């Protein structure tokens, strides 16, 4: 039974019961409509309470039912809303857990709203590429005013109950059972007038210059959400609440959502939504997986190394109320790390206080203890190592801590790409060793690559995946290979960016094209931010640059393949990026963030091309995008072929959450599918034939096979490989 109804004296309680989140599927909508009509007609009923089963009001329309252009569902939710709002008997929403999207729209059509203190409300449709389309953009501004409503709708913000009360979205916040409180309120208001409680009948109040306000909002949104259409549609819809009568406003919502669907962005974002949820459902070839292996509960942790990454990881753990021992190698580094962590925690505490939640950090510090003494970590449940990227050092540390720690403690490394098995092999419990690859800044970035080595046990995977979720991360299980998934795909992309400079581009041409595509940052800006020396050191270790390059090696060749030495040349001149005040761009000061194109680089590139007698040509944005992205996608196919990622969806989750890929394009593998695999294949093949010294352009076996079998849907790609090479 999707919707049940029972009566408590004169109050009829209608409960949505559709696990896991009481989403409004077609069946739920039909049942809700029917139960509501019956309750409203029943003479023994004098008031109605609307609630959800299992402590959740409702997470909105059932996204699983969204199919391309079908909008029937959203229309029927508004049908229910209209009925509720016009009901002559008072209707009270009892909000527990979540009231999101269509769920909040349902509640807004009720005459009163009571929320549990832990509930959250919001209109997050924008995050799945659409807009609230069951009256949300018309009723919310009438209830809380335009600026607050617009902010919630355009950002898709989750609003905690206490803030919802301050904004006027809910009438009561209770610490106890919200349904009992709603029934109580319903009884009190029986027979009282409801006219000013029907939001559709109220005027939108404002004392701002509406034209200016919406123009500014549009300008800001075009920058902040570059390329995404849904935020702009949300603004238009809210504007309609001021300009049009309520029912025309509803029509506008429908028109806008229909036009969004034609852009393909909602489909991409909904694919990204479900891919993210599926990433947590890991399964090993043995059949062990998320649904049959229980994680260990992690209460105490240690983080070794408080540099760029360690600080963020400590903050992340502390934020999740997990106790941390933070370790450094000397007093100076410890003090620096401590200062940085305290400052980050203070900011977190401030945010929590603003949301009306009390923070558990006394003076900005939670359960974090700083020390130089490795002996103090002996009783922790899990350790995350974040020292320099150096195999020798990591092995020394793992050997040392495996002797100190209790036998069942887990040992995790934050390495960006070193061999997990080699690290595990020096410990007395390789089955408890795993990679937890956080992204910088670790307290903010949502992605976590959980890297399984060949010894890693299912319990270790379950525990770290579950810890990732507790930290609010999107954890994706990947296999062990140099650079894992995200960084491995990035390598040929950055390499191509270098070749583009040789062939005639300036750094800003490449960055602009990719930023216009939707990346948060182009490759040269990204390198300047991360520091060019990071890649330089790694290339030196690999013997690609520096003293270990055999004499007589041509400047633009390594092991017979094309090589672009420009980044190395910049490093030799100390142009390390932002921290040096210059890199691919120049900056206003050391550590500055405002990049400007540098005439010096232009001159340098011209001289470089002359020296190497490179005939440059004009390269347009399309060529830049294709050259950079197709090799990245090709690497994604190789990763699937090698069994390093479980599915193309997992790769997309990694790129959407860790590499600034525009979510409204779904992710690189989804993009390949929507572009057409044949086009990707043919372009790569053509380019590879013209440049046989660039192996990353050679189309992979899987890509070729998928084209040959007629481009099956993305969900079926892996079946083309069978169980070859599964490294997970
Ligand atoms: N429809 C269908 N399934 C949903 C769903 C939804 N709206 N929301 C969640 N799920 C599934 C999800 O796939 C997962 O399934 C399970 O619930 C638990 O989710 C007319 C147009 C509610 C805050 O955008 O933000 O209303 O993987 O793992 O971390 O304007 O899910 O277990 O099989 O995320 O506790 C607007 C989206 C819809 C809300 C819970 N609503 N959901 O988070 O668990 S459009 C949303 C969320 C709309 C109207 C329109 C979160 C959550 P499975 P979870 P969680
Ligand atoms: P970092 O140089 O900023 O910090 C490393 C810290 O480790 C330093 O504070 C150092 O004092 C400390 N340390 C060194 N030896 C130690 C020892 N024996 N005991 C205790 N502490 C010791 O480095 P980082 O950028 O934070 O990188 C740390 C790890 O995370 C590396 O493996 C790196 O590859 C990986 N990583 C870095 C990034 C990034 O963007 N910086 C992203 C993901 C992963």
The string of pLDDT tens digits covering residues 2-40 is 999 999 889 999 999 999 999 999 999 999 999 999 999
Pairing mode of beta strands 120-122, 159-160:
antiparallel
Do 7 and 121 lie in a common domain?
Answer: yes
Residue 88 within a domain: yes
Rg of the chain over all Cα atoms, to the nearest angstrom: 28
H-helix or E-strand spanning residue 338: helix 331-354
- At residue 162 the predicted structure's pLDDT band, cuts being 50, 70 and 90, is very high
Q: Which of 611, 638, 670 is the last residue of a domain?
A: 611
Looking at per-residue pLDDT, the higher value among 293 and 349 belongs to 293
Residue with the smallest CA separation from ligand 1 atom 8 is 59
> What three-state secondary structure class fits 105?
helix
Looking at per-residue pLDDT, the higher value among 310 and 358 belongs to 310
Q: Which ligand is nearest to the CA of 306?
A: 2
Q: Which of 587, 611, 635 is the last residue of a domain?
A: 611
Residue 673 within a domain: yes
Do 606 and 703 lie in a common domain?
Answer: no
Identify the residues whose C-beta falls under 6 Å from ligand 2: 304-310, 327-329, 333, 386-389, 393, 397, 414-416, 438-440, 530
CA distance 556 to 558: 7
CA distance 65 to 74: 11
Do 662 and 585 lie in a common domain?
Answer: no
Q: Would you state the structure tokens that stand for residue 357, as one six-digit string?
A: 């939640």
Q: Which residues contact 393 (CB under 8 A, 6 or more apart)?
A: 387
Q: By the 8 A CB rule, do 255 and 423 touch?
A: no
> What three-state secondary structure class fits 728?
coil
Q: Would you state the structure tokens that stand for residue 334, as one six-digit string?
A: 């410890």
CA distance 710 to 400: 54
- Regarding the beta carbon of 64 and ligand 1, being less than 6 Å apart is answered yes
Do 344 and 378 lie in a common domain?
Answer: yes
Do 356 and 404 lie in a common domain?
Answer: yes
Q: How far, in Å, from the CA of 73 to the mean position of ligand 1? A: 16
Q: How far, in Å, from the CA of 691 to the mean position of ligand 1? A: 46
Pairing mode of beta strands 382-385, 410-413:
parallel
Q: By the 8 A CB rule, do 359 and 345 touch?
A: no
Question: How many CB atoms lie under 10 A from the CB of residue 562?
Answer: 19
CATH classification at residue 313: 3.40.50.720
Residue 492 within a domain: no
Residue 636 within a domain: yes
Q: Which of 668, 638, 645 is nearest to 519 (CA)?
A: 668
State the residue range of the domain holding 590.
504-510+519-611
- Regarding the beta carbon of 134 and ligand 1, being less than 6 Å apart is answered yes
Q: Which of 452, 459, 450 is nearest to 409 (CA)?
A: 459
Do 390 and 313 lie in a common domain?
Answer: yes
CA distance 325 to 374: 10
Q: How many domains does the chain have?
A: 4
- Regarding the beta carbon of 102 and ligand 1, being less than 6 Å apart is answered yes
Q: Which of 486, 384, 494, 473 is nearest to 435 (CA)?
A: 384
Alpha helices in 360-457 (DSSP H): 391-404, 420-424
Q: Which of 564, 593, 611 is the last residue of a domain?
A: 611
The string of pLDDT tens digits covering residues 311-365 is 999 999 999 989 999 999 999 999 999 999 999 998 888 877 766 555 555 544 4
Q: Would you state the structure tokens that stand for residue 93, as one six-digit string?
A: 């929403």
The string of pLDDT tens digits covering residues 387-417 is 999 999 999 999 999 999 999 999 999 999 9
Whole-Å CA distances, 607 to 502, 532, 563, 612: 11, 21, 18, 9
Question: How many CB atoms lie under 10 A from the CB of residue 208?
Answer: 11
Q: How far, in Å, from the CA of 523 to the mean position of ligand 2? A: 23
CATH classification at residue 158: 3.90.226.10
Q: Known catalytic residues? A: 105, 125
* pLDDT at residue 118, rounded to an integer: 96
Question: How many CB atoms lie under 10 A from the CB of residue 353?
Answer: 12
Do 333 and 441 lie in a common domain?
Answer: yes
Residue 290 within a domain: no
DSSP notation for 435-490: EEEE-SSTTT--EEEEEE-SS--HHHHHHHHHHHHHTT-EEEEEE-STTTTHHHHH
Do 83 and 106 lie in a common domain?
Answer: yes
Total residues found in the chain within this entry: 728
**What is the arithmetic mean of pLDDT over 562-569?**
98
Residue 70 has pLDDT above 60, yes or no: no
DSSP summary character for residue 700: P
CA distance 285 to 381: 27
CB environment 255-275: b (16+ within 10 A), e (fewer): ebbeebbeebbbbbbbbbeeb
Do 473 and 335 lie in a common domain?
Answer: yes
Q: Which of 90, 59, 95, 92 is nearest to 77 (CA)?
A: 59
Residue 42 within a domain: yes
Hey, which of 334, 386, 484 would you mutate to test ligand 2's pocket, going by the most ligand atoms within 8 Å of its Cβ? Answer: 386
C-alpha angle 32/38/39, rounded to 5°? 90
The string of pLDDT tens digits covering residues 255-268 is 999 999 999 999 99
Please state the φ and ψ torsions of residue 474, each to the nearest 5 degrees.
-100, 105
Count Cα neighbours of 494 within 13 Å in the Cβ-side half-sphere: 21
- Regarding the beta carbon of 20 and ligand 1, being less than 6 Å apart is answered yes
Please state the φ and ψ torsions of residue 484, each to the nearest 5 degrees.
60, -135
Q: How far, in Å, from the CA of 12 to the mean position of ligand 1? A: 27
Question: How many CB atoms lie under 10 A from the CB of residue 168?
Answer: 12
CATH classification at residue 659: 1.10.1040.10
Read off the pTM: 0.95
DSSP summary character for residue 504: T
Residue 356 within a domain: yes
**What is the arithmetic mean of pLDDT over 226-240?**
98
Q: How far, in Å, from the CA of 587 to the mean position of ligand 1? A: 43
Do 473 and 576 lie in a common domain?
Answer: no
Do 152 and 234 lie in a common domain?
Answer: yes
Q: Which of 212-221, 583-592, 664-673, 713-722 has the lowest mean pLDDT?
A: 713-722
Q: Would you state the structure tokens that stand for residue 4, as one six-digit string?
A: 């049940």
* pLDDT at residue 496, rounded to an integer: 98
Q: Which ligand is nearest to the CA of 305?
A: 2
* pLDDT at residue 58, rounded to an integer: 98
CA distance 163 to 94: 17
Cross-strand partners of 122: 100
Q: By the 8 A CB rule, do 529 and 519 touch?
A: no
Q: How far, in Å, from the CA of 389 to the mean position of ligand 2? A: 7
ipTM of the complex: 0.97
Residue 552 within a domain: yes
Q: By the 8 A CB rule, do 391 and 381 touch?
A: no
* pLDDT at residue 725, rounded to an integer: 64
Q: Which ligand is nearest to the CA of 281?
A: 1
Do 306 and 408 lie in a common domain?
Answer: yes
Residue with the smallest CA separation from ligand 2 atom 25 is 308
């Amino acid at each position: 039974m999707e919707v049940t109804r029972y009566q408590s004296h004169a109050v009829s309680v209608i409960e949505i019961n559709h696990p896991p989140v009481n989403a409004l599927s077609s069946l739920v909508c039909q049942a809700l409509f029917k139960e509501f009509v019956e309750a409203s007609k029943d003479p023994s009923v004098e008031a109605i309470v609307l609630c959800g089963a299992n402590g959740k009001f409702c997470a909105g329309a059932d996204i699983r039912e969204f199919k391309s252009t079908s909008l029937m569902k959203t229309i029927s939710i508004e049908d229910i809303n209209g009925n509720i709002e016009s009901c002559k008997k008072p209707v009270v929403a009892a909000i527990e857990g979540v009231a999101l999207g269509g769920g909040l729209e349902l509640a807004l059509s009720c005459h009163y709203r009571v929320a549990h203190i832990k509930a959250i409300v919001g209109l997050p449709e924008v995050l799945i590429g659409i807009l609230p389309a069951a009256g949300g953009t018309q009723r919310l501004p009438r209830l809380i005013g335009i600026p607050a409503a617009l902010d919630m709708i355009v950002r898709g913000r989750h609003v905690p109950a206490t803030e919802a009360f301050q904004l006027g979205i809910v009438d009561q916040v209770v610490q106890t059972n919200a349904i009992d409180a709603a029934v109580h309120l319903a009884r009190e208001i029986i027979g009282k007038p409801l006219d000013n409680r029907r939001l559709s009948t109220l005027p939108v109040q404002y004392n701002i210059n509406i034209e200016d306000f919406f123009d500014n909002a549009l300008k800001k949104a075009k920058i902040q959400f570059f390329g995404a259409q849904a935020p702009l549609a949300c603004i238009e819809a809210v504007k309609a609440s001021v300009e049009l009568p309520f029912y025309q406003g509803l029509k506008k919502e429908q028109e806008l959502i229909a036009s969004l669907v034609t852009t393909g962005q909602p489909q991409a974002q909904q694919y990204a939504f479900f891919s993210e949820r599926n990433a947590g459902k890991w399964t090993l070839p043995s059949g062990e997986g998320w649904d049959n292996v229980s994680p260990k509960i992690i209460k105490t942790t240690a983080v070794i190394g408080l540099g760029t990454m360690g600080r963020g990881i400590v903050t992340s753990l502390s934020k999740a109320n997990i106790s941390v021992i933070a370790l450094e190698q000397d007093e100076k580094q410890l003090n620096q790390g401590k200062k940085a962590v305290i400052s980050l925690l203070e900011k977190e505490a401030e945010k929590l206080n603003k949301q009306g939640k009390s923070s558990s950090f006394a003076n900005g510090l939670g359960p974090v203890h700083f020390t130089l003494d490795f002996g103090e970590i002996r009783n922790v449940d899990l350790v995350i190592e974040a020292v320099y990227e150096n195999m020798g050092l990591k092995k020394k540390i793992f050997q040392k801590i495996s002797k100190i720690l209790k036998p069942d403690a887990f040992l995790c490394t934050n390495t960006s790409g070193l061999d997990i098995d080699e690290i595990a092999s020096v410990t007395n419990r390789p089955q408890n060793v795993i990679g937890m690859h956080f992204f910088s800044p670790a307290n903010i970035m949502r992605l976590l690559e959980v890297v399984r080595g060949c010894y890693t046990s299912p319990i270790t995977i379950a525990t770290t995946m579950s810890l990732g979720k507790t930290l609010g991360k999107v954890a994706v299980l990947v296999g062990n290979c140099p650079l894992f998934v995200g960084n491995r795909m990035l390598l040929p992309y950055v390499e191509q960016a270098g070749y583009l400079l040789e062939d005639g581009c300036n750094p800003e041409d490449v960055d602009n094209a990719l930023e216009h595509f939707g990346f948060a940052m182009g490759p040269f800006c990204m390198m300047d931010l991360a520091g060019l020396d990071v890649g330089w050191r790694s290339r030196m270790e690999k013997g690609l640059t520096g003293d270990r390059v055999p004499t007589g090696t041509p400047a633009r060749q390594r092991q017979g393949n094309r090589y672009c030495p420009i980044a190395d040349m910049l490093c030799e001149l100390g142009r390390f990026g932002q921290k040096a005040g210059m890199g691919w761009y120049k900056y206003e000061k050391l550590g500055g963030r405002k990049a400007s194109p540098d005439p010096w680089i232009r001159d340098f590139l011209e001289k470089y091309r002359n020296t190497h007698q490179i005939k440059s040509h004009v390269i347009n944005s399309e060529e830049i995008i294709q050259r950079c992205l197709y090799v990245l996608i090709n690497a994604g196919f190789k990763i699937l072929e090698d069994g390093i990622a479980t599915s193309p969806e997992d790769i997309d989750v990694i790129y959407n959450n860790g590499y600034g890929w525009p979510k409204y394009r779904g992710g690189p593998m989804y993009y390949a599918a929507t572009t057409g695999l044949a086009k990707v294949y043919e372009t790569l093949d053509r380019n590879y034939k013209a440049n046989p010294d660039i192996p990353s352009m050679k189309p992979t076996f899987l890509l070729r096979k998928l084209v040959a079998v007629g481009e099956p849907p993305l969900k079926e790609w892996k079946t083309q490989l069978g169980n070859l090479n599964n490294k997970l």
